[in-house]
Structure 1
């Protein structure tokens, strides 16, 4: 199933996978994987290490916050190249995970820029669903105007406490290579762990 998932993702293409689309074959494969989820309680203390690390986003059924904004402004969105979207999860204390959502973009004339959202996962008795809240957003020119040997300082924008929205996030599938998350609105996200030579392998 993971081999077929990899094939379908490659057929759709790296950028189309991150924009809203009708990706029914991919959704159906993910549902099959979810039905045999080897780690049904990913937020339990024993399985937390399996969540930590860098995860590349390879598919989003309804797009992402960034790509949905591109769709709403086609003239700008078509000119922007998405180089990479990834998430970093690290231990953040008792029943907490520090999360960093990142996107590297190539902007016309402006060069390569990185967007980052920093937040925290918390949870209670349910060891599959976490509450996610982001407290800081940042922007950095990593290769301004195409200059690879130059970068600008990161600009961090804190979010006031009363403006921080809390969302529910379900980790519906997890193994050593692939992770599936579902948002409260039904958006489906497929991640693969970075720095592995064969991320999908075979089930």
Structure 2
């Protein structure tokens, strides 16, 4: 066990160093890095919490997590990357996920991203939905998002301004359901895999919601 702990620590240290060297945009946009993927796979093989969705481990699973690596990008970053000359128009400053206890055997999930839209200033988008246990109840969840929200947090670059949040409900028949596998979890790091194998590496942000929001806006 001690050997495993030391190996995990060494692998995580190398992972953080490689992700940092890769740079924020390359780590979240479609550009899979095989070395990083192999490090993550090694960590998955020595997962200290084999059943991360177990109710016994909710205190570790829940909280604020910053996305630091996506092997094939995300829905948002793939969309942005498809825009011609997006580097000069759109800058993604943060991508995060908040997990909280939900009702009816579920976990409440909010996925958010903060953008700098050049002269339009900073804008935040957020998708809110639920994880529900599915199949292997302690590893796999069904994910469905029911509302989207958009807000100008610093319109036209003026920090003293902000626009009200606009919430857009998603009609039930349009709500797509997807499977989400949590393949690694400890106090600092979480790895999730989508149905197609795309892997997402999250690092915990140990702050309150209010503090997180102010950090995201000011970063």
- What is the alpha-carbon distance in structure 1 between the residues aligned to residue 133 and residue 145 of structure 2? 15
Tell me by how many angstroms 1:72 deviates. Answer: 1.3
Counterpart check, 1:155 vs 2:166: yes
Partner residue in 2 for 1:39: 49
Tell me by how many angstroms 1:124 deviates. Answer: 3.9
What SS class does the counterpart of residue 47 from structure 1 fall into? helix
Counterpart check, 1:96 vs 2:113: no
Correspondence 1:127-146 to 2 at 5 A? 127-146=138-157
What SS class does the counterpart of residue 56 from structure 2 fall into? coil
Counterpart check, 1:165 vs 2:176: yes
- What is the alpha-carbon distance in structure 2 between the residues aligned to residue 44 and residue 112 of structure 1? 38
Partner residue in 1 for 2:39: 29
RMSD: 1.2
- What is the alpha-carbon distance in structure 2 between the residues aligned to residue 171 and residue 70 of structure 1? 26
Report the TM-score, using the length of structure 2 for normalisation. 0.87
- What is the alpha-carbon distance in structure 2 between the residues aligned to residue 195 and residue 51 of structure 1? 12
Tell me by how many angstroms 1:70 deviates. Answer: 1.4
What is the CA deviation profile of residues 67-124 of structure 1, one whole-angstrom value per residue up to 9, with x for unaligned ones? 1011211323542111110000000024210000000000011000000000000014
The 10-residue stretch of structure 1 (27-36 or 62-71) with the greater mean CA deviation from structure 2? 62-71
Counterpart check, 1:9 vs 2:31: no
Count of paired positions = 196
Gaps of 5+ in 2: 1-10, 208-219
- What is the alpha-carbon distance in structure 1 between the residues aligned to residue 72 and residue 18 of structure 2? 16
Judge conservation of contact 2:134–2:142 (CA < 8 Å) in 1.
no
Tell me by how many angstroms 1:187 deviates. Answer: 0.8
What SS class does the counterpart of residue 42 from structure 1 fall into? coil
What SS class does the counterpart of residue 29 from structure 1 fall into? helix
Gaps of 5+ in 1: 197-203
Partner residue in 2 for 1:199: none
